[in-house]
Structure 1
Amino acid sequence: MSYAGKDMESSYQVVYDKLWQDIKKRDPEEITLLRAVSYSSATRQFVVLFFNEEYIVDCGKEAIWRQADGELPDVMATIIILNYLVYAQPLRASEPSWVSIKEIPGGMIFYSAFHKTAISVLIEVFGYQVDRLKTVAAFLGGQAGPFGAASVVFRAFPEIPLCVIVWEGDEEVQANATILYDASIDFILPSAISIDLGVYLADRLKKLVGTHYN
């Protein structure tokens, strides 16, 4: 098994390799000043908190694994974590505010695909069984959100909150859902990776429902 994981698709390999090289060009101590991560020069490893779980990012082996059990993250999670480190830069001072994917630069271009791969998944899984959201959200460190009973805030990374909101449907009202980002996401991740983050969260929640309710 390669450290990239069995499911590392060939289309991602070039991106994957470049991200590792870009991380190695950075001063790791600088990254620790800009991101809520730790680094050991002895092991050349970062420790990154991703959705309430610690991951080891090993720059020598070019490997990422979950600290608790050694589980390798999937392709999307791997790319997201690497981007989080590569694009570390000083955060701009701003008031906390929630924005939709349409308000993120470039988000409108991908909105149709985002709705299909993230929003529609949330509606399918929670739209008529909204009580399940908080139950499975707890496994990812989700906390009660500010938009009513069916909203949950997740910390993808310590600096990156996402809010999932579900409006429960019934025989007369169609269910709906959304994912909101803090406006600061624009300064932390590339737009395409921000979108991947929402898709990843929706997929994780769906899998958790499958594990705990089926």
Structure 2
Amino acid sequence: MRKLLRVFAVQVFAAAFVLSAVAAPAHADPLPTDPVLAAEWQEAWDTHKFYENVPPAPGSGMSRASTSISIVINAPAHKVFDKYSDFRNHIGRAAFLTRLAYHKDVTKKGVRYLNLTAVEDVPFEGQIVSLHTHAQQRLHRSQLFYETDSWSAPGIFTHQKIVFKKLTPTQTEVTEHLTFDAPDDLIDVSVTSGVASHQQTQTALKQAIESGAI
């Protein structure tokens, strides 16, 4: 899994969407059903408690790194929020993201909670290997921000807060505050590949929103 994560990082930088122009390798494993992904999500929630944004303890073998990235999108703030926060719009724009499985959608006290699994199909040694990222997204539309906590093997946690700032009636700044927790030997590649992937997605969403494609 560590080797696969490093391959993922390299291919993010290589703009791996060009792979769609060549013959696709066969899947290494059968495609998981939604109930299987839901069971995986629940196990990750119960076991890894990825909703707890707690810095790794010293000597735990885990490290934390945080960064922020911003982009300005020429569209009204609430429109940008609605399009940007809908992860279905990330398919085909985020590196390797091919599928989303939603397990729960509930609103409490004005906050919408979405439990989901993102499936990323990564070419690896002549086959397609599916990586599953289990997440909870919390949308605060009235305050123009959302949060996402996630976990994926081999022990990569992310904690995100995405803020939408109205600059003018037709211009919005989107800032992603990103925190990564990962094993010590994977923290650098996790941050590098994660930030590159988020920047790619930001640029693609900006183009899609401004052009009216979404």
The TM-score bracket by the shorter chain reads 0.3 to 0.5
TM-score by length of 1: 0.38
TM-score by length of 2: 0.38
Q: Which has the higher helix share?
A: 1
Q: Which has the higher strand share?
A: 2
Q: Relative contact order (alpha carbons < 8 A, sep ≥ 6): 1 or 2 greater?
A: 2
